[in-house]
A = this chain, B = another copy of it.
Amino acid sequence: MKELYVMRSALMVVYWDMETMMPPKALQLRSEQLAVLELTLHKMQVDQRFAALLDEVETSAGFASLSAGNKRAVVLARKDYDEASKLPDDLVTDLAKQQALTVGIWKKAKAAKDFDMFKPELAKMIQLKKRAADILMQVKGTKTPYDALIDTFEPGMTAQRIDQVFSGMRDGLMRIMRKAETSGKKIDDSILSRKVSFAAQRRISEAAMKFIGFDTTSANAAGRLDETEHPFTTGYYDDVRITTHYYEDRFVSSLFSVLHEGGHALYDQNLPREWMYQTMGAPCSYGIHESQSRFVENMVGRSPEFLAYFMPRLRRITGRSLRGVKLRDFVAAVNAIQPSKIRVEADEVTYGLHVIIRFEMERDIFAGKLSVDDLPQAWNEKYEKYLGLEIENDSEGVMQDTHWAGGSFGYFPSYALGNIYGGMFLRKMNADMPDWKQDIRRGDFSNVKQWLVSNVHSKGNLYDPGDLVRVVTGQDLTIVPFLTYLDEKCDRLISP
C-alpha cells in the first residue's frame, strides 16, 4: 500500500508538471511517460502477493477484533484490488495515453473555438471509458455503467439517487434565480470588471492564502501556487499544489479560485497522518472535497464578514481600482445571482444548474442516447432551457471544462453534491460555533479551519460520503440547509 501511494503521489507531480511547466513539444513523450507510470501503478495494484495478503488478513482469526479503522482499511484495500484487477493492462495504458493526448487537443481546440478538432480524440476517450465502465459495473455490482463511474468519485452514490436529489435542487435553484430576477433589484457588478494588474492580483492571491493559512513561502511550506488556464489542486499531505488564472478585467475570479483551490488544499494537507499511504488516508470522496473548496470559496469567501475584513487589503493592493466602491456594493456584486455561460464563474445559485446539465448529458452519453456529434447541440439547448442563455461558440459551451477531455466522466455530480454537503456542514458549524462569522470578520480563520479539520479532513476515508455527513451532522443527505442558505442570501441581496 505504501509503495502504491508513494508512486501515486509521484504521478501527481508528473501530471502537475504537464499542466504547468512542460514544454509543449514534450506532449507525445509525456503521454508515454504517463502510460508507463499508470501501467506500473496498475501492476503494483494487482500484484498476486497483494491479493494473497488480503485473503490472509480477511480470513484470519483476528479480523473480527480489528479496530474500526483497521477493518475499514482492509475493506477499502479489497475494493481497490477487486476493481483494479479486472481492468486489463492495455486499457490502463490506452486510457493514460489518451488522457494526455485528449487534454492536449482540447487546449488547442478550445483556443481555436473548433469542436471538430476536439471531436475525434474525445470520441476515442469516451469509447475507452465505456469499456472501463462496463468492466467496473460488473465488479462493483452497479445497475448501469455510468453508476460505476459515479461510484469512483462518490462511493455509494447512483445516477437514480442523484436524479432525485438534483430534481429537488433544480426546482429550488430555479425558484431562487427567478426570485432574484423578478425582485427588480439591480446589482451593479461593473465594479468587478475594473482593471487590476496581474502583479496586484498575485498579491491578492498571497493575501488570500495567508488568510486561510496555506503556506507557500516559508522554509516549512507544503504548498505552491501556479497559473493555468483551468485552476486545479493536486498533491498529497506535504506537497499540495494549487493553480489559478488571472484575468485583467475580472480580478475576483482569481481571488475566489485561490480560496476554492485553497479549500481543497487544506483538506489534502490535513488528512490523517497515521493513515498516510493507505486508502484510509485518502480523502472521502470528490463531493466531500468539493464541499471543502466551496465552503472556503463561498460560505466564507463571499460572506459579508470575510469581505469586511478583506476589503481594506484589496484597496491597499489595487490602489485606484476600487476607489469609490462601498463594501455593501462589493458584497452584492460578488454575490449577484445572474445566469452565465461559464460554470467556474457562476454564482452559487445558478452553479448547480450548470452541473445538472453536465450530469444529464453524461448519463445520456453512457446510456447510448447521446453521440459525440450531438454534444454541442444538446449543450446549447440545455443552456437555453435551464439558464435562458444562447451559447455562441463551443469554447464558451461544451468545451469549457477539461473534465471530459481528461476522461473524468461521473465527476461533475460531485460538484453539486459538494454544495449540498457544504450546506449541511454549515448548519452544523452554526450550531457548534455560533460566533464563527465574528472570527472571520477579525481575519481569524483558525476556528473554522479547526472545525473542518477535525470533522472532515482528519477523518480521511473512514466513511463513505453518505455516512460521513450522517456522522458529522446527524442527518441523512438533504438539500434543505443549502437551499435555506441561498434563500437567506438572496433575501439579503434583494432587500431594499
Contacts and interface: CB of A to CB of B under 8 A. Distances in A.
- Chain copies in the assembled complex: 2
A222 interface: yes
A37 B239 contact: no
Given A23-B223, A24-B220, A238 B10 contact: no
Nearest to A12: B33
Interface stretch (A14-22, A170-178, A311-319, A484-492): A14-22
Contacts of A238: 23, 25-26, 28-29
A165 interface: no
A163 interface: no
Give the size category of A's interface with B: 35 or more
B10 A33 contact: yes
A219 interface: yes
Interface stretch (A1-9, A66-74, A416-424): A1-9
Q: Is the interface of A mostly helix, strand, loop or mixed?
A: helix
A25 B219 CA distance: 8
Nearest to A241: B23
A241 B26 CA distance: 11
Contacts of A25: 220-222, 238-239
A24 B221 CA distance: 6
Contacts of A78: none
A182 B396 CA distance: 73
A239 B29 contact: yes
A478 interface: no
A236 to B, nearest CB: 7
A192 interface: no
Contacts of A10: 14, 33-34, 36-37
A232 interface: no
A40 interface: yes
A159 to B, nearest CB: 36
A11 to B, nearest CB: 9
Contacts of A223: 23
Contacts of A6: 29, 32-33, 35-36
Interface centre among A2, A220, A238 (most CB of B within 10 A): A238
Contacts of A219: 24
A209 B218 CA distance: 32
A237 interface: yes
B13 A17 contact: yes
Interface in A225-264: 236-241
A23 B224 contact: yes
Given A7-B33, A22-B239, A23-B240, 13 more contacts: A6-B35, A6-B36, A10-B33, A13-B14, A14-B14, A23-B223, A23-B238, A23-B239, A25-B220, A25-B221, A25-B239, A28-B238, A29-B237
List the 4 closest A-B pairs by CB distance, nearest first: A26-B239, A25-B222, A10-B33, A25-B238
23 contacts: A2-B32, A3-B36, A6-B33, A6-B36, A7-B33, A7-B40, A9-B33, A10-B14, A10-B34, A13-B13, A17-B17, A21-B224, A23-B216, A23-B222, A23-B238, A23-B239, A24-B218, A24-B221, A25-B222, A26-B222, A26-B238, A29-B236, A29-B239
